[in-house]
Amino acid sequence: MIEHRRPGVTLVMEHIAKMEMLLVSEPMLGSAEKAALSEVIEGGWITMGERVRALETAFAERHGVEDAVAVSSCTAALHLILHALGLGPGDEVLVPSLTFVATANSVLYVGAQPVFVEIEATDWPIMSLADAAAKCSPRTKAVILMHYGGYVANREAWREFAFARNLLIIEDAAHAAGADQAGSIGDASAFSFYGNKNMTTAEGGMIVAKDRSLLESMRQMRGHGLTSGTFQRFSSKSVGYDVTMLGYNYRMDELRAAIGLVQLANLDKWNDRRRQLTSRYMRTLAARCEGVQAPFAEWLKTANHMSSHHIMPVVLPKHVDRRRVIELLKAGGIQTSVHYPAVHELSYYRSRYPDVSLPVTEAYAGRVLTLPLHPKMDDQDVKRVVASLATAVHETRGAEAGKAVEAA
């Protein structure tokens, strides 16, 4: 147990530490998923087959599109989209720096160059339209619009932006499964089913696209460019195939698809619970944590917001030691995370693009802290997190003030 100067604080933290660790995210897995896996194993067909196709159809229906393509990850989805759209050497793609590194990596995979764009503000950490416009050049061919935290970007504004410049829009909807309008803004969209997402297949992802021929091209591309898959050949008793394009091994298997079908059936219920918990967080933070900013708080008061409420980020006050806050919360049985370090400040990207400066993104990334948010939580968990955060921020702020006095 970490020692504290104030006896009262010590007692509170010791009491909380006796509780079970509250995780930032926790997958919802149970008997239905176990039964679905058992059915696949007993059936004997474990690679891409009927369940993968069923998941594609169900996911497309849930998101109001004609069809979808299941793949091995959201990163694979982004790579296939960029490749299928013909992006490559000499092209530039606008990307946020406030994202997981895969967003930028996928651009490099096809030989194009990512151009990092600012966020609008710390209370609206979505890619800035104004900075995106300023970063356009004759080589700019597309923009990857990332729905950070599950909060869907302004559809009409971004469509107008892209149309005026003849740009493709690719949605990085990794956080946004089940959110209204997600997958409906761009030419193609990539979703994630990673273990910490609102619905999971452990690893896995999904592609949706407006153009049917584009979607079918990616369907073939995910399996080495083969004109038929193993299950198709088995079902038709055909042994031959051709390869008509460069492809990859980005297939989803039947085990993951079986889990995905169960998860998808519960997605709306789980997202609604996330919405309720987020609302509780917003109210409690406003009442208990002076100086701690909750991004999207004002936007959520409007009637037209769309979100899957994937994560619960907060922005700590300036001059508060985030590392110390993380340590104090962990000592109290609360896991936190950071979504995200700015991509352009990671060593690899800093070495490639040393002149990139995004002050708003950097300020946000330096102060953001992700609090626990998942459907297994209840209102008392939110109360516990906020109380612990308030204590940790107060303690840390006091320690920093003491250092300042000593330095003076």
Q: Order of strands across the sheet with 188-192?
A: 69-71, 205-209, 188-192, 168-172, 140-146, 92-96, 113-117
Contact status, residue 369 vs residue 340, Cβ threshold 8 Å: no
CA distances to 141, 302, 332, 390 from 9, in Å: 55, 38, 11, 11
Look up residue 122 and give its two tokens: 């710390």
Residue whose tokens read 């800035």 = 128
DSSP-assigned beta bridge partners for residue 77 = none
How many alpha carbons fall within 13 Å on the CB side of residue 373? 29
| CA pair distance 51, 8, nearest whole angstrom | 56
DSSP notation for 99-141:
S-THHHHHHHHTT-EEEEE-EEETTEEEE-HHHHHHH--TTEE
Residue whose tokens read 């990794």 = 174
DSSP assignment letter at 340:
-
Active site residues: 197
